[in-house]
Amino acid sequence: MRTAGHYVLGTEGLALLRTWLVAHEETLGRRVDELARMASAPDAPPMAIRLDVPDHDVEAGYARWATSYDDMANPLIRVEEPAVRALVDRVPAGRALDAACGTGRHAAYLAARGHRVAGVDATPAMLEKARARVPSADLRLGDLADLPFEDGAFDLAVCALALSHLPDPGPAIAELARVLRPGGTLVLSDLHPTMLLLGGTGFFVDASGRPGNVRSFHHPHARYLAAFRRAGLDVVDCVEPTIEPDDLAALSGGLMGFAEEAFRTAWVGMPNALVWSLVHS
């Protein structure tokens, strides 16, 4: 049975790995003692906190996650949102697309900045929330790899926290370039590839308190860069905001009390989001 203890033990191991050549021996000893204590106590928390986490594809996963998406403490959004907004703020009001708009988080911001906003998403339940949140926007059901918009329709496109759900981000990146006018701006954000390698994924807890996971894929920077080149997109900026101490409560999902020092050592300073600003040549 999967348990919360596996996440805490993994964090202890990561803390050990990050510091094994630089920490004092005493500190390394604390890591090993905590690991051994928790691992040898399967009937005590955190090992006894059992988790049933079904794996979902995008539509089934976000149909469940839509019930809690806007209420859940999300450590990724905490670092991603200011970075995306800083890049979007450089673009004057015009025609803007929020691709994979979800519940309309960025669409609402773009509308408030005076853009004429369109959006697209593959999950009806997420789109319904976005329609209630941004009634002025033209929000359509559709796929990132086949956007329901004309060539050159937008001055700005944002695609946030979605590309890592695709096994290959290339076709979606080509579509995003197609719907931008020459000189238009594309802002992409996602969970950082390093976090995906460390087990980061689309983990959520729905409104009834049940966890789930939306399948996610690791894309290294090189894969993004190759897709940008093929689509005629030039990199203007690449931002990699890191996990800070204030993010740990949300990141640990309430488990930090079991291993506070390990959570700090393992996760603080780790890049949590990858945010690109690109221009369509």
Instruction: Determine if 121 is a binding residue for ligand SAM (CB under 6 A).
Output: yes
Question: What is the spatial distance between Cα 236 and Cα 245, in angstroms, rounded to a whole number?
Answer: 29
CB of 209 vs ligand SAM, minimal distance in Å: 20
CB of 149 vs ligand SAM, minimal distance in Å: 13
Instruction: Determine if 105 is a binding residue for ligand SAM (CB under 6 A).
Output: yes
The position carrying tokens 């906190």 is 49
User: Judged by CB, which is closer to ligand SAM: 19, or 203?
Assistant: 203
Local structure of residue 241 (DSSP, 8 states) = P
User: Judged by CB, which is closer to ligand SAM: 240, or 261?
Assistant: 240
Q: Which of 14, 47, 58, 275 binds ligand SAM (CB under 6 A)?
A: 58
User: Judged by CB, which is closer to ligand SAM: 123, or 265?
Assistant: 123
- Which among 37-45, 118-126, 250-258, 272-280 is the span making contact with ligand SAM, rule CB under 6 A? 118-126
3-state secondary structure of 262: helix
* Residue, CB closest to ligand SAM: 102
Instruction: Determine if 256 is a binding residue for ligand SAM (CB under 6 A).
Output: no
SS3 content of the chain, % helix, strand, coil (to 5): 40, 25, 35
Q: How many residues bind ligand SAM (CB under 6 A)?
A: 18
Could you tell me if 58 and 122 are in contact, meaning their C-beta atoms sit under 8 angstroms apart? yes
The H or E element containing residue 200 is none
Question: What is the spatial distance between Cα 269 and Cα 256, in angstroms, rounded to a whole number?
Answer: 16
Residues that bind ligand SAM (CB under 6 A): 58, 62, 100-102, 105-106, 121-123, 126, 143-144, 160-162, 165-166
